[in-house]
Amino acid sequence: GESVGLHLPTLSVQEGDNSIINCAYSNSASDYFIWYKQESGKGPQFIIDIRSNMDKRQGQRVTVLLNKTVKHLSLQIAATQPGDSAVYFCAEYGGTSYGKLTFGQGTILTVHP
Amino acid sequence: KAGVTQTPRYLIKTRGQQVTLSCSPISGHRSVSWYQQTPGQGLQFLFEYFSETQRNKGNFPGRFSGRQFSNSRSEMNVSTLELGDSALYLCASSPGQGAGEQYFGPGTRLTVT
């Protein structure tokens, strides 16, 4: 059938604000989740991951929250900087699906100085 | 450690031609996954190789194929190119053993005219 272009959600914030990017995942059997950042002209860059036996994980300026009940992930970025402007993807992995990450549609984050 | 490298970075081909893309994973990584990224469909899984064996395959036609060599380097081939094959082709490497943690290369931008 005819493909329809993805209309990515967008989030605009001011420099120094905290950002929250949300993602709904599809497979209740997924046991591993990753957030990626993709800048224009580059491949996705690994930010942070979380396993399904956890509900929160913190990195440097980033926190990922996992709610398995409603199949929801969020990425929180503290003190957002202009260099954080990019497209952010969540990805899920099921242990029996070798090498296959299933990606969300992505969210465009724009940080204004 | 050097990251994932992909060659060539840009490619222009004509409908009906075939193309081969190359990927060198992070040293020590034995799993290589390939993805197609388009504005219309987002990031979609093509296939995954581990120790020269294809372990998983996405929902793409047989024109898309790949292989992995004993040094873990991988190639993917697309035969009888169609306009719709224009995309960013991304390779990701992982330590393997089913781990979802994947690190991406910069991609090969393929344009089919």
The model's pLDDT over A50-97, given as tens digits with 9 standing for 90+, comes to: 999 999 999 999 999 999 999 999 999 999 999 999 999 999 998 677
Higher pLDDT pick, A61 / A4: A61
Read off the pLDDT of each residue in A2-28 and give the average, rounded to a whole number: 85
Higher pLDDT pick, B99 / A64: A64
The model's pLDDT over B47-66, given as tens digits with 9 standing for 90+, comes to: 999 999 999 999 999 999 99
A56 in contact with B at a CB cutoff of 8 Å?
no
Q: What pLDDT does B98 receive?
A: 60
Q: Are B34 and B25 in contact (CB under 8 A)?
A: no
Q: What pLDDT does A7 receive?
A: 76
Q: What pLDDT does A49 receive?
A: 95
Q: What pLDDT does B99 receive?
A: 60
Q: What pLDDT does A2 receive?
A: 36
Q: Does A11 score more than 50 pLDDT?
A: yes
Q: What pLDDT does A5 receive?
A: 52
* φ, ψ (nearest 5 deg) of residue A83: -70, -10
Q: Read off the tokens for A30.
A: 């997924």
Q: What pLDDT does A95 receive?
A: 66
Q: What pLDDT does A4 receive?
A: 44
The model's pLDDT over A29-39, given as tens digits with 9 standing for 90+, comes to: 898 999 999 99
Residues of A in contact with B100 (CB under 8 A): 32, 34, 49, 91, 93, 101
Cα–Cα distance, B43 to A102 (Å, whole number): 8
What is the pLDDT of chain B when averaged over all its residues?
94
* Dihedral angle, C-alpha A21, A86, A35, B38, nearest 10 °: 110
Q: Does B35 score more than 50 pLDDT?
A: yes
Residue A45's pLDDT band (cuts 50, 70, 90):
very high
Nearest CB partner across the interface for B104, out of A32, A43, A105: A43
Three-state SS sequence of chain A:
CCCCCCCCCEEEEECCCCEEEEEECCCCCCCEEEEEEECCCCCCEEEEEEECCCCEEECCCEEEEEECCCCEEEEEECCCCHHHCEEEEEEEECCCCCCCCEECCCEEEEEEC
Q: Does B95 score more than 90 pLDDT?
A: no
The model's pLDDT over B68-86, given as tens digits with 9 standing for 90+, comes to: 999 999 999 999 999 999 9
Q: What pLDDT does A65 receive?
A: 97
Rounded to a whole number, what is the distance in Å from the CA of B103 to chain A's nearest CA?
Answer: 6
Residues of A in contact with B40 (CB under 8 A): 3-6
Alpha-carbon distances, residue A74 vs A67, A89, B42, B101 (angstroms): 9, 11, 19, 18
Alpha-carbon distances, residue B51 vs A27, A85, A90, B32 (angstroms): 28, 37, 27, 9
